[in-house]
Structure 1
Amino acid sequence: MRKGLNILFIAVVAALFVFSAGCTSGTKNPAGAQIKFVDSLDTPMQASLSALQGDVFAEIESLFMNARDCGAYAGENYSNTGTDTDKNTYLKSEMSAKVAGNKNILTVAYIGNDGILKEIVPESEDILSGDSLTYQDSVVLMNKEKVPMLTDLFELKQGGYAAAVYYPVFSKDSYQGFISITFSPETLLSEYALSLKEDTGFEVMALQTDGVILYDPDEKETGTPTFDNPAYNDFPDIVRAAEKIVKEWSGSAEYSYYSTGTDETVKKRLYWTTVSAGNNEWRIMAVMDM
């Protein structure tokens, strides 16, 4: 009982911290302030989920702050004509420092209001400065909306999946483009998921609101759809639960599926809540075998 109360206390403190912090991502109501559950069962499970919600929101907010810092420098100093190479080189060094300082970050890029890539670190053969990125819907949308944005998951050319935070760059009142920080949601969530599993036995899952899996203990599930997925034909409870999850901010559900890493079918119970940032939402779940 004392352990459960300690977990609940930590969760409440985490939620209050997130509620009181300044918000860079453009979310009107920070995640930790909005949590609610449908009943009073499984208090340790709910408390663990509340703490996870605060941790994940803080990680995403940190990415937005990194993008904001790079964007502030780019707006004041970047030379679009390339005449001041020292200032442009310094921006790249700042971007490189962001990559080195955060294990979740894959790339940092400066994309112009015309959709042309100005700078990127680290550089690769797959994408180069001067490339047009207007084939990406999120780039077109960002240059239209000009507000902080968290993208949906997308597949990388080199394999795997990533998402990105976008932050607008202004020079005085003139919109110049945006900073893009790509990151791995799987890497971001896995550290917390492994810790929660070790401490409580609960597993973590995460969905986009279109049902695409952001994180699952089974790495092969990342990036796959929940809806219209033949793998779930024999498990209709999963689809029914997912339909509820993507529509509602928080709640609980039960379904049957394989116990992780086995072929044994078990009944599972989950609670979910939402991390809202950059005009997007992640549904995060704590799951246990019953």
Structure 2
Amino acid sequence: MTRFNYLITFAIVLSLIVSAGCLQEQNAPGGVNDTTTIRHAIMQTLLHEMTCSIQSELGMFNFTIDEASHYLGEHGLTGPKADAMMADFASSHPAILSLITVDPNGTVLSAAPDNAKILIGQNIADQEAISQVLSTRQPTMSNYFTLRQGGEGVVIVYPVFSPGGEFLGALSMAFSPSILAARYAEELEKWAPFTYAVAQPDGVLLYHSNPTLAGKQAFDEPLFEQFPELLDFVRRSDTERTGYATFSFYKDGSTEIVPKETFWETVYLYDSEWRVFVNADRE
């Protein structure tokens, strides 16, 4: 049995115990009843699986872009070999939107797939992540922003060096955090009535079970204005890497306002962090 299947089985067993009424509604230490304790255990188990899955994906992106940067260092940032490698890389994961290479001045030398080739020849040294890597020569992951070729996403930018150590430029990979997270959230949502969200510490929603909220800034979203407790825990998550909070919000698929709760954990890459949330109705 895989680790994922083991955790899902654990969650299912706990869910069946609760739904079958096998546990009495009695207070546990701290005033939390058994049903709440079990729901919290399921929430945290599934949240941990979600967090580990996203962290693994970010780690794999890091490994792959590191390998690609070494290849480009040996074969050049442009030309048939670079183009072929980048085309394969761009098609290797559904969340990847595009790849580009830039020279030390920030001019785009090559791009994949075809819809990104309009960037070739443009200077994008003013893009924050590109500017940072050209200056520090260290990899970075950007915040969510509008891409030059259209659409929105996050970029991982990695320096490229020749085998002799000469700085040649950088490789930038744009990807969709929403697509990345959705494949795991949608699977976990089949097993328990929870919703999931991924956000930058500043409140920008990278993924939400309600897809209309992806890409929105929570503090500017009219839907959240009447729920100060919700915005309070978003503020807390700016500095708290893990946490728990209660709040009120609409019941899923309804206009009824119900009490809810959330746990969150953190994933990271280089100097960037994301918060991963699991949300549930309180009973």
Larger RCO (CA within 8 A; separation ≥ 6): 1
Q: Does 1:119 align with 2:117?
A: no
1:1-290 equivalences in 2 (<5 Å): 6-7=6-7, 41=37, 42-78=40-76, 88-124=79-115, 127-156=118-147, 160-171=151-162, 172-290=164-282
Please list the CA deviations of residues 177-213 of structure 1 after superposition, one character each: whole Å capped at 9, or x if unmatched. Answer: 1111111111000010111110122211011011111
Q: Distance in 1 between matches of 2:110 and 2:148?
A: 19
Higher alpha-carbon Rg:
2
Q: Distance in 2 between matches of 1:10 and 1:277?
A: 29
CA apart distance, 1:159: 5.6
CA apart distance, 1:214: 0.7
Number of matched residues? 252
- Aligned partner of 1:29 in structure 2 is none
Q: Distance in 1 between matches of 2:8 and 2:241?
A: 20
Unaligned runs of 5+ in 1: 12-38, 81-87
CA apart distance, 1:230: 3.5
Which segment drifts farther, 229-238 or 146-155? 229-238
Q: Is the 8 A contact 2:119 2:149 kept in 1?
A: no
Report the residue type matching 1:47 in the other structure: T
User: Counterpart of 1:282 in 2: which secondary structure?
Assistant: strand
User: Counterpart of 1:209 in 2: which secondary structure?
Assistant: coil
> Normalization by structure 1: what TM-score?
0.80
Q: Distance in 1 between matches of 2:148 and 2:131?
A: 20
Report the residue type matching 1:113 in the other structure: P
**Which consecutive aligned stretches of 4+ in structure 1 deviate over 6 angstroms post-superposition?**
8-11
* Alpha carbons of structure 1 residues 48 and 79: separation in structure 2 relative to 1, 3 Å: closer
Percent identity between the two aligned chains: 26
Report the residue type matching 2:257 in the other structure: T
Report the residue type matching 1:136 in the other structure: Q
For the aligned residue pairs, the C-alpha RMSD in angstroms reads: 2.4
Please list the CA deviations of residues 229-277 of structure 1 after superposition, one character each: whole Å capped at 9, or x if unmatched. Answer: 4432211111111111121010111111112332221111111000011
Q: Distance in 1 between matches of 2:9 and 2:129?
A: 39
